[in-house]
Amino acid sequence: MLTDLSIRNIAIIEQLHLSLGPGLTMLTGETGAGKSIIIDSLSLLSGGRAVAELIRSGEEEATVEAVFDISGQPELAASLADAGIESDGELLVKRIVNRSGRNRIYLNGSLATLAQLAEIGRRLVTIHGQHESQALLKPESHLLLLDSFAGCHHNRRELAAAFEAWQALEQQAADFEAQEREAARRLDLVSFQCEEIEQAALKPGEDGDLAEEQRLLAHAGRLAAITGGAFESLYGGDQAVLGELRRLTSALHEAATIDPALTGTTGLLEESFHQLEEAALRLRDYAGRIEADPERLRHLEDRLDQLGRLKKKYGATIEEILCRGAALARERDELLGRCRSREELEQAVAAARSRVDHLGSELSAVRRRGAEHLRERLVAEVRQLAMPHAEVTVAFEPLSPPRASGFERVEFLFSPNPGEPPRPLGKVASGGELSRLMLAFKQVLPEGEAPTLIFDEVDTGIGGAVAGVVGKKLKSLAVGQQVFCITHLPQVAACADHHLRVEKAVLKGRTTTSLTLLDHDGRIGELARMMAGEKITDTARGHAADLLARAASQ
């Protein structure tokens, strides 16, 4: 509850202080006296926009301070404690607006951010502006009003989260579809490359072995001729080297019997004979093994050509080609796995849509039950506001496709007179009827956490007996909450528990606003002014006194 309010240098208010209490407080005064400026100041304390134009002419800064009793709001006190702000049952909110833009906010003396003020402020004060009834003309606001009454915010949040998840999966599916063609082309290429490498059946190091074998087969004839000829020269012919050496060695043996000094030389010749003989036999065997094989040679040449092509495409060595093949195989498996991923994604999309359908149906059911109850409550309220035959209908229009807010569009339809079908508010409701409808909504809708309600000329467009009913409705609201109301109607003002008159005057060449808490006689005078204008007659005062007495007795 708001207990104290101080305003300095806001518009035409130089300095103003209010001590406030529970119940219904009315602010009255001539147009332009500064009533709405007080509301604007309270808006600053609840996180409203601060502009330099609010600052009184000739001043550099403006200040608004308010003390709130929060002893009945333990959750708010806990939130303040979490932010490091001590409260002890009271909260002092101070906001300084500077022309230079160096604005400051204090909560119990601690600097705070605008976001903190907005969060705290919405739990302290709810302001209903004088043009708020125009919001009823916007069908998009009707769904929020119904959801507030039906208490289905949890259902709505659940649906919104499920809807967002479904939409995200739908987008993934759309992206997946767009990528499918590219993935298919890539799969064709990768599969071909994998198959090419796999069919080659490569073995590490085989290229060197094949090259060596190919080189020998390519020169088989020459090798056979050279080694065969060498064997013949050493062993095979009449003039073979080994035959001559054998004859020579025999002769030297004979000579060594004559001169033993030749024995060593003879031994060397015998050793050479045996070595040449071994070499001749090896040459014979080598020449015997050589066989010209054109088919094998062609096979080797084809294989080496194949390996050369693979090296140009996939790597400089067989080992690199095999590594590339393994990588391509992994990519192929991943691309083939997209088929399974697509099935899983389609199943996920279907499950997400099913959840949206389920939650949306639940929300629709809660809304329809709430709509009937709300209709009954609204009809009962508006019929007390001088519209005895009024009807209110909640129309549901299915939405296709569904939205995060639900499966239907909701609009309140209104019929002020019997025999007329309900129609959209903008087509049938007058300004006064809209004001009464808005007040009816305030009667039936939960107000949330804010213990202080402020109505800025909620009675616009009404008068007479209806004004008295509006005053009673406001007073009933003030039973459980602190309510402030700006009004120009004496019937409404008469219902106040506290009555403040706002006046402006010129002092020392400057216009300034003052505020007076009226006693009983002061209230009679103010109500008489509101009824009769500037010239207050005894008759007007008598009517004012009677009005005040009737309001007090109800």
Q: Which residues contact 104 (CB under 8 A, 6 or more apart)?
A: 95, 96, 98, 111
**Does the pLDDT of residue 41 top 70, yes or no?**
yes
Of the candidates 357, 378, 360, the residue with the CA atom closest to the CA atom of residue 149: 378
SS3 label, residue 459:
coil
CB 435 within 8 A of CB 459: yes
Of the candidates 469, 466, 390, the residue with the CA atom closest to the CA atom of residue 428: 390
Pairing verdict, β 104-107 and 110-111: antiparallel
Residue 462: both structure tokens together: 């009404």
Point out the least confidently predicted range of 17-26, 64-73, 153-162, 335-344. 335-344
CATH T-level assignment (fold) for domain 1-124+450-517? Rossmann fold (3.40.50)
Q: In whole angstroms, what is the distance from residue 370 CA to residue 437 CA? A: 18
Partners of residue 396 on adjacent β-strands: 410
Point out the least confidently predicted range of 36-45, 462-471, 495-504. 462-471
The backbone torsions φ and ψ at residue 532, rounded to the nearest 5 degrees and listed phi first, read -105, -15
Q: In whole angstroms, what is the distance from residue 326 CA to residue 314 CA? A: 11
Domain ranges within the chain, ordered by starting residue:
1-124+450-517, 184-334, 520-554
Q: In whole angstroms, what is the distance from residue 267 CA to residue 273 CA? A: 10
3-state per-residue secondary structure call for 311-374: HHHHCCCHHHHHHHHHHHHHHHHHHHHHHHHHHHHHHHHHHHHHHHHHHHHHHHHHHHHHHHHH
Model pLDDT for residues 309-334, shown as the tens digit of each residue: 888 988 888 898 889 888 888 888 88
Question: What does the mean pLDDT of the chain come to?
Answer: 85
Pairing verdict, β 391-403 and 510-517: unpaired
Q: How confident is the model at residue 157 (pLDDT cuts 50, 70, 90)?
A: very high
Give the E-state strand segments of 449-538 in sequence order: 452-456, 482-486, 498-507, 510-517
The dihedral through the CA atoms of 527, 533, 538, 542 has a sign that is: negative
Q: In whole angstroms, what is the distance from residue 114 CA to residue 95 CA? A: 10
Q: How confident is the model at residue 364 (pLDDT cuts 50, 70, 90)?
A: very high
Q: Which helix (H) or strand (E) is 50 found in, with range? A: none
Q: Which helix (H) or strand (E) is 179 found in, with range? A: helix 153-200
Q: In whole angstroms, what is the distance from residue 67 CA to residue 40 CA? A: 17
Model pLDDT for residues 174-198, shown as the tens digit of each residue: 887 777 777 778 888 888 989 888 8
Of the candidates 418, 424, 430, 435, the residue with the CA atom closest to the CA atom of residue 382: 435
pTM above 0.85? no
Q: How confident is the model at residue 419 (pLDDT cuts 50, 70, 90)?
A: confident
Q: In whole angstroms, what is the distance from residue 179 CA to residue 169 CA? A: 15
Q: If you average pLDDT over residues 207-220, what whole number do you get?
A: 80
Q: In whole angstroms, what is the distance from residue 525 CA to residue 542 CA? A: 10
